C-alpha cells in the first residue's frame, strides 16, 4: 500500500500500487494525491455506477445521447471512483468506495447490481465504511482539481465518468443542453481531457469497437484478472494509454484534446468555444463560499456576456500562493471589494 512507502521511494522508484480508500484512510490518501500530482500529471479516471435507467440507442444523435446521459446521472448515485496518477513509469491508483448508494432503495438496474457484486463490490461494506460523495468531492477539489492547469485527464469511453464527477462537485443536476455540459467539462478539468476509446479508434480501425479489456489484450498488455471495478479500470486505462503512445509513432494525444467518444468533433469544437471565454481581472478581491472570506492574489471573473450557456453559478478562476497556483472552483461565490 502507498502508506507503507516513504515519499522519496514513491517519487524515485517505478511502482504500480492500488489503494482501497474508505472513510478511515480518506484524508491520508488525499494528501498523497496532492503530493504525487506534482510529478505525475496524467490523471486516469473511471467510475462505477448502478447501470442505466434509460439506455441511449446505439449511434444515436448526439443530443439523444446527452439526453439519456442526463436522465441517468441525475437520478442515480455513484458506487466507486477510481483515480490513477501516472508518469508512464509509475502508476498510483486509488479506489474510492462510496456509501451513498443503497441498492435496496435507490434507482438502479438490478442486472447491473448483480454484475457489480460478481466483480467484487460489497455494497454492505460500502454503506458501513465508505466515503460520502460530498466529502469526496470536497477532498478531490482541494487536493487534485484545484490548481490543475498542468494535469491531463484521461478516461475510457468517459462521458459518464466526467458527468458523475461534475454532478458530485457541483451538487446540481446536469445542464439541460449538451453545450452546457461540455462547457462544464472545460471549466472543471481544463482543455486537456482525453478519451482513450476515441484515440484508439483513430490509431487503428481494428480498435474501433473494442472495450477496455479487449483492447488491452489486443495490445498484449500483461493484465491479470478482470476489471469492472473503478480503480482497476482506471489503472488499465493508464496502461493502455501508455502502450499506445509507445507503439504508434504518430500518436499525439494533444491532437485529440476535448474529443470524447460518441461526441467526437462536436466535443472538440465546443471545448474550443469555451476556451476562448474572456475574463475580467479584479485585483485584489475576497472570495467566500460561506460566512468567512479567504483573500488571495487576484481573481479572474468571467464576463457575463461570455459565460457558457449551462445556467450554473459562476466559476472563479483565481491565483493562490504556491503550491496551488491558478485554480478553478464552482460557485456560488460572494465578492467583496478589497479592504
DSSP string, 208-260: TT--HHHHHHHTT----S---SHHHHHHHHHHHHHHHHHH-TT--GGGGTT--
Instruction: Give per-residue pLDDT as tens, 83-140.
Output: 999 998 899 999 999 999 999 999 999 999 999 999 999 999 999 999 999 999 999 9
So what's the pLDDT on residue 32?
Answer: 95
What average pLDDT does this structure show over 219-226? 83
Sorted by where each starts, the structural domains of the chain and their CATH numbers stand as 11-264 (3.30.420.10)
pLDDT at 225: 66
Whole-angstrom distance, CA of residue 168 vs CA of residue 163: 9
- Asked if the model's pLDDT at residue 263 lies above 90, the reply is no
Place of cell 448515485: 77
Q: Is the pLDDT of residue 179 over 70?
A: yes
Average pLDDT of span 192-211 = 91
pLDDT value of residue 269: 52
Alpha helix positions (H), 256-330: 265-275
The per-residue pLDDT for 148 is 67
Extract the C-alpha cell encoding 178: 449538451
What confidence category does residue 266 fall into, taking pLDDT thresholds of 50, 70 and 90? low
- If you compute the radius of gyration of the chain from its CA atoms, what whole number of angstroms results? 20
* pLDDT score recorded for residue 4: 36
Percentage of the chain lying above the pLDDT 70 cut: 72
Give 263's DSSP letter: T
DSSP 8-state assignment for residue 324: T
What is the pLDDT of the chain when averaged over all its residues? 78
The tens digit of pLDDT for each residue in 23-75 reads: 999 999 999 999 999 889 999 999 999 999 998 777 788 889 999 999 999 99
More confident position, 101 or 268: 101
222: left (phi over 0), alpha (psi -120 to 50) or beta: beta
φ, ψ dihedrals at 227, nearest 5°: -120, -130
Q: Lowest mean pLDDT: which of 60-69, 238-247, 248-257, 277-286? A: 277-286
Q: What global pTM score does this model have?
A: 0.77
pLDDT over threshold 60, residue 213: yes
Amino acid at each position: 500500500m502507498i502508506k507503507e512507502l516513504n515519499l522519496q521511494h514513491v517519487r524515485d522508484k517505478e511502482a504500480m500500487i492500488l489503494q482501497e480508500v474508505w472513510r478511515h484512510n480518506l484524508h491520508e490518501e488525499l494528501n498523497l494525491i496532492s503530493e504525487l500530482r506534482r510529478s505525475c500529471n496524467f490523471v486516469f479516471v473511471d467510475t462505477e455506477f448502478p447501470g442505466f435507467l434509460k439506455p441511449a440507442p446505439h449511434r444515436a444523435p448526439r443530443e439523444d445521447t446527452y439526453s439519456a446521459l442526463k436522465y441517468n446521472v441525475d437520478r442515480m448515485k455513484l458506487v466507486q471512483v477510481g483515480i490513477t496518477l501516472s508518469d508512464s513509469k509509475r502508476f498510483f491508483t486509488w479506489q474510492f468506495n462510496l456509501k451513498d448508494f443503497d441498492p435496496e432503495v435507490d434507482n438502479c438496474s438490478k442486472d447491473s447490481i448483480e454484475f457489480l457484486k460478481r466483480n467484487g463490490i460489497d455494497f454492505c461494506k460500502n454503506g458501513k465504511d465508505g466515503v460520502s460523495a460530498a466529502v469526496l468531492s470536497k477532498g478531490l477539489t482541494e487536493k487534485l482539481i484545484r490548481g490543475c492547469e498542468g494535469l491531463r485527464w484521461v478516461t475510457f469511453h468517459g462521458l459518464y465518468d466526467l458527468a458523475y464527477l461534475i454532478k458530485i462537485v457541483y451538487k446540481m443536476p446536469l445542464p439541460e443542453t449538451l453545450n452546457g455540459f461540455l462547457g462544464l467539462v472545460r471549466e472543471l478539468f481544463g482543455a486537456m481531457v482525453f478519451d482513450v476509446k476515441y484515440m484508439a479508434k483513430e490509431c487503428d480501425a481494428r480498435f474501433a469497437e473494442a472495450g477496455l479489456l479487449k483492447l488491452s489484450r489486443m495490445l498484449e498488455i500483461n493484465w491479470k484478472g478482470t476489471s469492472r471495478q473503478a480503480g482497476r479500470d482506471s489503472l488499465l486505462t493508464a496502461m493502455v494509454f501508455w502502450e499506445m503512445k509507445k507503439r504508434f509513432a504518430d500518436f499525439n494525444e494533444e491532437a485529440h484534446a476535448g474529443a470524447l467518444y460518441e461526441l467526437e468533433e462536436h466535443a472538440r469544437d465546443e471545448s474550443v468555444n469555451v476556451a476562448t471565454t474572456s475574463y475580467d481581472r479584479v485585483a485584489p478581491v475576497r472570495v467566500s463560499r460561506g460566512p468567512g472570506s479567504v483573500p488571495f492574489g487576484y481573481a479572474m471573473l468571467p464576463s457575463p456576456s461570455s459565460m457558457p450557456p449551462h445556467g450554473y453559478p459562476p466559476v472563479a478562476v483565481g491565483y493562490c500562493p504556491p503550491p496551488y497556483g491558478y485554480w478553478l472552483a464552482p460557485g456560488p461565490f460572494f465578492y467583496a471589494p478589497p479592504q
